[in-house]
Amino acid sequence: MPSGAWRLPSSLPPEAHTAVDAYHVGMADDGVRATDSGIEIQPLYTADDLSGWDPASALGLPGEAPFTRGVYPSMYRGRLWTMRQYSGFGDAASTNERFKFLLAAGQTGLSCAFDLPTQMGYDSDHARAEGEVGKVGVAIDSLDDMRTLLADIPLDKVSTSMTINSTAAILLLMYQIVAEEQGVSSQQISGTIQNDLLKEYIARGTYVYPPKPSMRIITDIFGYCSEHIPKWNTISISGYHIREAGSTAVQEIAFTIANAIAYVQAAVDAGLDVDDFAPRLSFFWNGHNHFFEEVAKFRASRRIWHTVMTERFGAKDPRSAMLRFHTQTGGSTLTAQQPVNNVVRVAIQALAAVMGGTQSLHTNGYDEALSLPTESAARLALRTQQIIGYESGVTDTPDPLAGSFLVESMTDEVERLAWSYIERIDEMGGAVEAIEAHFQQDEIEQAAYEYTKSIDDDDRVIVGLNRFTIENEPEPDVFPIDPALEPAQKARLAAFKANRDMAVVGARLDAVTNAARGSDNLLYPMKDALMVGATLGEVSDALRAVFGTYQP
């Protein structure tokens, strides 16, 4: 620091305390302000709020332990976050077309949504798929579908995130096979599978198998990818859906990190070295409207993970202790009323994610409270990221809010409250045991109830919903659903199934079932079955025959 430059005082001078105290008294009648996690916001923050705070241990430098300020030294000065817009609807050809539209608009990574039958391990011709084919994501039944989905996409240059859990291994193997058919080595492909089953039991519900076999599949994926697909992020441990279910910001990171601890412990117990798989773990956070709490949440999560990995699991590779994360703006914050207002909400949430140091980002379309995003809404959502990245100036230096009395105080408090939850879950025996006791679910339900009640009671203002409303609001344009989609997908699947040697397919599926009864890595026989024409539903059924299905 140059001679004579201003330095932050360790505390306020005595004469300043009188003014500060008077300020607090003057603001006292303004009422209590608090974040969604119940953290009270003081009328004024000063250096006294950081009394005893040590920036060397609490912050460090960007790219250095404890990674509060970010996982890379230069952060966005060196490279912007990956702009990874979430897309997937209808059939594989429609989604491939949307992928190309977004790439042409400047998107830098793919992110794929799958329909409910695909998520639940059913082919489109299954009775349980009726009415759901292609509705909330793309229908993928076979290798032919995956080939169409990825047609003309440079898989050695574009990373792909797939929001898939129970059938994550199947979709990953299909992706690998198609890449190899295109001449791209599995050593070159990169991306992420969500592969986070514990949060499905907590918040989302697209589980298939019980927890123990699900954990086995997850650790098999860790082992397979460490050898064959080393650039792939083998799990995206998701707080997003926990927050969408109604949790607070503190609960989001606490419950998610508790799940992550369970995954790491399961892998270690299976004989994997922590530094062989932990550098490929990633996280998925939600972006909500309380700007400063969200920034604090992102920063606190990195600090907690560093402590977990170094002190609890003894990780030696610094990358094992770097919490890298994707952010998606909050779907549950979008309103169907005055949907264009959502453009502003998304911009605030995206800015918080960037100020908090995200590695990739999806910004929701303003019309997503009503339907899948139209092309114009998807383009505007991407432009929101691009304006933040190229015009706002917030990318010019890492962690620009570091040292803020408010942000550092809130980061410390979010961390403290999150550790309290993690310790309670540890006392219950870990995340799986706590889930079985319904602990996380009950906490989220209570938080969701209190949040909704605050809106109903007008204690919380939601612009356009309970204040500043418009009567007789015109109907907006929405994304159309083609009624011919489902029968066409079923016809393609029937043609695919007719062009197979069923004796070979049956033998390969039997090998999957036999592996499930034993302890061998499941992904090898699963890949063999897919390569001879087994479908996603058939491979899932081969596992269901041994593992059964989870009944809460």
Banded model confidence at residue 478, pLDDT cuts 50, 70, 90: confident
The helix/strand count (H/E) of the chain reads as: 21, 12
Mean pLDDT to the nearest integer, 270-285: 96
Sheet holding 82-83, edge to edge: 82-83, 360-362, 325-329, 281-287, 235-238
In this structure, the chain runs to a length of 552
DSSP state of 204: I
pLDDT of 28 > 60? The answer is no
Q: Rounded to 5 degrees, what are φ and ψ at 228?
A: -110, -30
For the chain, the domains span: 71-456, 500-547
Please give the share of the chain, as a percent, with pLDDT higher than 70. 95
Cα 21–chain centre separation? 42
Q: What distances in angstroms separate CA 386 from CA 74, 173, 390, 522, one per listed residue?
A: 19, 33, 6, 41
Q: How far apart are CA 66 and CA 399, in angstroms?
A: 14
| Least confident range of 171-175, 213-217, 331-335, 474-478 | 474-478
User: Which candidate, 531, 481, 477, 483, places its Cα nearest to that of 507?
Assistant: 531
Query: Are residues 399 and 75 in contact, defined by beta-carbon separation less than 8 angstroms?
Result: yes
Q: Where are the beta strands (DSSP E) in 449-501?
A: none
Q: Residue 338 corresponds to which amino acid?
A: Q
pLDDT digits (tens, 9 = 90+) for 181-213: 999 999 999 999 999 999 999 999 999 999 999
pLDDT digits (tens, 9 = 90+) for 306-322: 999 999 999 999 999 99
Q: Residue 437 corresponds to which amino acid?
A: A
CATH number of 71-456: 3.20.20.240
Ramachandran quadrant class, 38 (left: phi over 0; alpha: psi -120 to 50; beta: rest): left
Query: Are residues 58 and 37 in contact, defined by beta-carbon separation less than 8 angstroms?
Result: no
User: Which candidate, 323, 325, 332, places its Cα nearest to that of 361?
Assistant: 325
| Helical segments of 62-110, H only | 92-104
pLDDT digits (tens, 9 = 90+) for 497-510: 999 999 999 999 99
Q: How far apart are CA 521 and CA 507, in angstroms?
A: 18
| Global pTM value | 0.91
Query: Are residues 486 and 124 in contact, defined by beta-carbon separation less than 8 angstroms?
Result: yes
Q: How far apart are CA 227 and CA 536, in angstroms?
A: 23
If DSSP codes are grouped into helix, strand and coil, which group holds residue 16?
helix
pLDDT of 10 > 70? The answer is no
pLDDT digits (tens, 9 = 90+) for 149-167: 999 999 999 999 999 999 9
Banded model confidence at residue 30, pLDDT cuts 50, 70, 90: low
Q: How far apart are CA 259 and CA 249, in angstroms?
A: 16
Q: Rounded to 5 degrees, what are φ and ψ at 51?
A: -60, 125
If DSSP codes are grouped into helix, strand and coil, which group holds residue 80?
coil
Q: Where are the beta strands (DSSP E) in 198-347?
A: 232-233, 235-238, 281-287, 325-329
Task: Specify the pairing of strand 33-34 against strand 40-41.
Answer: antiparallel
The residue behind tokens 């699947």 is: 493
pLDDT of 11 > 50? The answer is no
Indicate the helix (H) or strand (E) that contains 508.
helix 502-517
